[in-house]
A = this chain, B = another copy of it.
Amino acid sequence: MSKNIPEKVSNRLTLYHSILAEYMEEGIESISSPQIAQRLGIDDSQVRKDFKLLNNAGKCRVGYLVSELKDSIEKTLGFATVKDAFIVGAGHLGLALAKYDNFNSYGLNILALFDNDPHKIDIQVNNKQIFHISKLPNLAERLNVEIAILTVPRQFAQQVADYIIQSSQIKYIWNFTPAVLKVPPHIKVWNENLIASFVQFACKDFE
């Protein structure tokens, strides 16, 4: 992470990135800031201001070069080295995240999934294998993985988190469960709080 980018800016940068990915797929080589601004319903000056935070935004005569601008956003928001992660819980949410290819552009690489349901073991999801949870400690050590994405049902969240923390070298838990986890001080929990997100959106637009 080259700079400390404010949350609202990084949020917009990822939206620009999605538009650029779409332009790339369509084979369009350049894009202007008003095109991006219009698509997002925001001001052109905002887009240009955000681009000033990027190194080498790919400015050209007609606007910006799509591939350079996209690379530049990835370099600014992404990680200098790829971060590997495991998904713990191969239910609907775990499988949905395993299929979410967007993570890769930013250097978050999901290597495998874990579950305790024997019917799910050894299945491949988006080229990632589901392993029995008991294999997590060994694989985390061998593959040097420190991030677990927790997608088990709420009632098992603490118990599974305890197991991961006690048995493996995992240091970061991206918690998609609504449980508030109790963890020792050396573990960082990132709570993905969908209802808080909804509350924020809705409170701007309702009432």
Query: Chain A residues in contact with chain B, CB under 8 A?
Result: 1, 4-5, 7, 10-11, 13-15, 18-19, 22, 39-41, 77-80, 83, 91-93, 95-97, 99-100, 102-103, 105-106, 108, 172, 174, 178-180, 182, 185, 188, 190-203, 205-207
Interface residue from B11, B190, B195, B202 paired with A83 (Cβ < 8 Å): B202
Contact B18 A198 (CB under 8 A): no
5 A–B pairs (Cβ distance < 8 Å), ordered by A: A14-B195, A14-B196, A39-B182, A91-B96, A97-B194
A4 to B202: give the CA distance in the assembly, Å: 11
Interface residue from B5, B93, B172, B197 paired with A192 (Cβ < 8 Å): B197
A40 to chain B, nearest CB (A): 7
Contact B11 A178 (CB under 8 A): no
A15 to chain B, nearest CB (A): 6
Interface residue from B80, B95, B105, B191 paired with A15 (Cβ < 8 Å): B191
Contact B198 A174 (CB under 8 A): yes
Contact B180 A1 (CB under 8 A): no
Interface residue from B4, B178, B206 paired with A1 (Cβ < 8 Å): B206
Interface residue from B13, B91, B106, B201 paired with A198 (Cβ < 8 Å): B106
A9 to chain B, nearest CB (A): 10
Interface residue from B13, B15, B83, B185 paired with A206 (Cβ < 8 Å): B83
Known interface pairs A14-B193, A93-B96, A180-B40; A198-B103 also in contact (CB < 8 Å): yes
Contacts of A96 in B (CB 8 A): 91-93, 96
Contacts of A197 in B (CB 8 A): 190, 192
Known interface pairs A102-B195, A191-B15; A201-B174 also in contact (CB < 8 Å): yes
A43 to chain B, nearest CB (A): 15
